[in-house]
Amino acid sequence: MTSKTYCWAIIDAMREEMERDPNVFLVGEDVGPAGGAFGASRGLHKVFGPLRVRDTPISEEVIVGLAVGAAMTGKRPIVEVMFMDFFGLCLDQIANQAAKMHYLYQGMFKMPLVIRTNVAVEMGIGPHHSQSLEAWVGHVPGLKVLMPSTPRDAKGLLKSAIRDNNPVIFIEHLALHRMKEDIDDGEEILIPIGKADVKRVGRDITVVATGLMVHKALQAAQVLSGEGIDIEVIDPRTISPLDIDTIAASVEKTNRAMVVSSAHKPFGFGSEVAAELMERAFFHLDAPVMRVTPPFTPQPFGKGFEKFLHPDADRIVAAARDLMR
């Protein structure tokens, strides 16, 4: 077992898949000799060379367009878009080209494309770099959207995404990049897309959390256990397709549900989970589904301001107490 950071788990996943399949390549801004803007491609350029680890101009539309064309011809590109906030620059290529190509051509073309991107909530870098916009892409048919919260999940899901024949949006949380977890270097880790993970078993409240919020929910669980409130923490890992079966089964046991997210409440991931539970588990609910999210306002600049706005363990604890009442 080796203690790996989230960032190194990402690098290992790409290296292993590039060694396994010569059609896999990586493109993006500064992914080459520099090793990535956040160090998430360190060493790959030296091992695989400039044809398979390729720097690009600063044009998200061109980068994703290049990858869509390459995927249509049988390659398996991995694209790095530095921040998810920049998806506005390439959303046509993602939502109208990559997502629809298989459908438009009646299955003639596959689209084995992975777009890695970063959410920088609580990193203090302002309104153009810190938004959690998974709802943008989760709404589009034809896209798979992943958001792992641990190094092992990140490695296993990225390897599965690279092998998938459909376009996958792979969302990394920068605040988790230095998180460590023991990983067996000799183990082939492949985590299925669309399967949630129960991070903590409980009996009183089902808490569905994504990304950084998974760890805050687990911190809250420790506090609440001292008060006799036992929460079950579920990490969907996959935003789309959503494993609502696992979530609904948990609610049938706990009879209460809360969704904790870095994204805004209106029209967001939490709203989707709440709506699904109303359809699937309404008669098991003893209280309305609660959503714990930042307020509906642009992200401020500075870590202190961001932490003031975003859910933390204390707010999750307070929400759980209200829900038990």
The packing angle between helices 151-163 and 6-20, to 10°, is 30
Q: Which amino acid is at 101?
A: M
Distance CA(177)–CA(114), nearest Å, equals 19
- Residue 251 phi, psi (nearest 5): -65, -35
Three-class SS of residue 268?
coil
Angle at 206 between CA 182 and CA 198, to 5 degrees: 25
Is 129 catalytic? The answer is: yes
Q: What is the DSSP letter of 88?
A: G
Q: Which of 300, 311, 297 is nearest to 213 (CA)?
A: 311
Start-end of H helices in the chain: 6-20, 44-48, 60-72, 91, 101-104, 134-138, 151-163, 212-225, 244-254, 269-280, 303-309, 313-324
Catalytic residue among 45, 102, 128, 129: 129
Question: What's the N-to-C CA distance of the chain in angstroms?
Answer: 44
Active-site positions read: 129
